[in-house]
Chain A
Amino acid sequence: MNWDDSMPMVSIKDVHKAFGDLEVLKGVSMDIKKGEVVCIIGPSGSGKSTLIRCINALNDIQQGSILVEGQEVNDPNLDKLELRKKVGMVFQQYNLFPHKTALENVMMAPIRVLKQSKAEVEKTARALIKKVRLEGKEDSYPGELSGGQQQRVAIARSLAMNPDVMLFDEVTAALDPETVNEVLQTIKDLAEEGMTCILVTHEMNFAREVADHIYFTDRGVIVEHGSPTNFFDEAKDPRTKEFLSQIL
Chain B
Amino acid sequence: MNQSYYNGFNSRKRKQEYKTDLPVMITPEVKEPGSILSSLSAYIFKPWHGFVILFFCMVSSSIAFGVDDNAKSSIAEVLWRWMPLLLKGFIFNIVISICAMAIGTAAGAALGLGQISLNKWVRRVSWFITQFFRNSPWLVLLFFAMFLLPFEINIGGLAIPLPDWVKAIIGLSLPVMANVSEIVRGAVVSLPSGQWEAAESLAYTRRQTLWLIILPQCVKRMLPPWMNLYAILTMATVLASIVGVSEVMTLTGQALAAEGGRTDLLAPFYSFVLLIFFMYCYPIARWTVRLEKKFSVIG
* Contacts from A to B (Cβ < 8 Å): 56, 58, 80-82, 84-85, 87-89, 91, 93, 95-99, 108-109, 112-113, 143, 154, 157-158, 161
* Contacts from B to A (Cβ < 8 Å): 192, 194-195, 197-205, 208, 212-213, 216-217, 298-299
User: Are A109 and B213 touching (Cβ within 8 A)?
Assistant: no
Given A109-B202, A154-B198: 16 more A-B contacts, CB < 8 Å: A58-B201, A81-B203, A84-B202, A87-B201, A95-B198, A96-B198, A97-B198, A97-B217, A108-B212, A109-B203, A109-B204, A112-B204, A112-B212, A113-B202, A113-B203, A158-B201
Query: Which of A84, A91, A109, A143 is B194 in contact with, Cβ under 8 Å?
Result: A91
Residue of A nearest to B200 (CB): A58
The CA of A212 and the CA of B200, in the complex, are separated in Å by: 29
- Report A34 CB to chain B, min CB distance, Å: 20
Q: Chain A contacts of B192 at CB under 8 A? A: 93, 95
Q: Chain B contacts of A81 at CB under 8 A? A: 203, 205
User: Are A161 and B202 touching (Cβ within 8 A)?
Assistant: yes
- Report A101 CB to chain B, min CB distance, Å: 13
- Report B117 CB to chain A, min CB distance, Å: 18
**13 examples of A-B residue contacts, CB within 8 angstroms:** A80-B203, A85-B203, A91-B194, A93-B194, A95-B194, A97-B195, A97-B198, A98-B299, A109-B203, A112-B212, A158-B201, A158-B202, A161-B203
User: Are B217 and A88 touching (Cβ within 8 A)?
Assistant: no
State the main secondary structure of chain B at its contact with A. Answer: helix
Interface hub of B194, B198, B203, B213 (most chain A Cβ within 10 A):
B203
User: Are A143 and B203 touching (Cβ within 8 A)?
Assistant: no
User: Are A113 and B204 touching (Cβ within 8 A)?
Assistant: yes
* Contact A89 B299, CB 8 Å, known A99-B216, A113-B208: no
The CA of A56 and the CA of B197, in the complex, are separated in Å by: 11
- Report B274 CB to chain A, min CB distance, Å: 41
The 5 closest A-B pairs by CB, nearest first: A95-B198, A95-B194, A84-B203, A89-B201, A109-B202
Q: Chain B contacts of A97 at CB under 8 A? A: 195, 198-199, 213, 217
Query: Which of B197, B204, B213 is A91 in contact with, Cβ under 8 Å?
Result: B197
A-B contact count (CB 8 A): 58
Residue of A nearest to B216 (CB): A99
Q: Chain B contacts of A82 at CB under 8 A? A: 203
The CA of A84 and the CA of B217, in the complex, are separated in Å by: 24
* Contact A91 B203, CB 8 Å, known A99-B216, A108-B212: no
The CA of A82 and the CA of B205, in the complex, are separated in Å by: 11
Residue of A nearest to B211 (CB): A112
Q: Chain B contacts of A58 at CB under 8 A? A: 197, 200-201
User: Are A157 and B298 touching (Cβ within 8 A)?
Assistant: no
Q: Chain A contacts of B213 at CB under 8 A? A: 97
The CA of A48 and the CA of B65, in the complex, are separated in Å by: 82
Q: Chain B contacts of A85 at CB under 8 A? A: 203
Residue of A nearest to B197 (CB): A58
The CA of A108 and the CA of B199, in the complex, are separated in Å by: 10
Query: Which of A91, A99, A161 is B198 in contact with, Cβ under 8 Å?
Result: A91
Residue of A nearest to B203 (CB): A84
User: Are B202 and A143 touching (Cβ within 8 A)?
Assistant: no
The CA of A139 and the CA of B108, in the complex, are separated in Å by: 35
- Report B85 CB to chain A, min CB distance, Å: 47
The CA of A85 and the CA of B298, in the complex, are separated in Å by: 32
The CA of A143 and the CA of B192, in the complex, are separated in Å by: 15
Residue of B nearest to A84 (CB): B203
The CA of A109 and the CA of B213, in the complex, are separated in Å by: 11
The CA of A85 and the CA of B204, in the complex, are separated in Å by: 9
Q: Chain A contacts of B194 at CB under 8 A? A: 91, 93, 95
Query: Which of B195, B201, B208, B212 is A84 in contact with, Cβ under 8 Å?
Result: B201
- Report B297 CB to chain A, min CB distance, Å: 11
The CA of A248 and the CA of B205, in the complex, are separated in Å by: 43
The CA of A85 and the CA of B198, in the complex, are separated in Å by: 13
User: Are A143 and B298 touching (Cβ within 8 A)?
Assistant: yes
The CA of A154 and the CA of B192, in the complex, are separated in Å by: 16
User: Are B298 and A88 touching (Cβ within 8 A)?
Assistant: no
The CA of A81 and the CA of B203, in the complex, are separated in Å by: 5
Query: Which of A88, A93, A96 is B201 in contact with, Cβ under 8 Å?
Result: A88
- Report B238 CB to chain A, min CB distance, Å: 39
Q: Chain B contacts of A88 at CB under 8 A? A: 201
Q: Chain A contacts of B298 at CB under 8 A? A: 143
* Contact A112 B201, CB 8 Å, known A95-B194, A95-B195: no
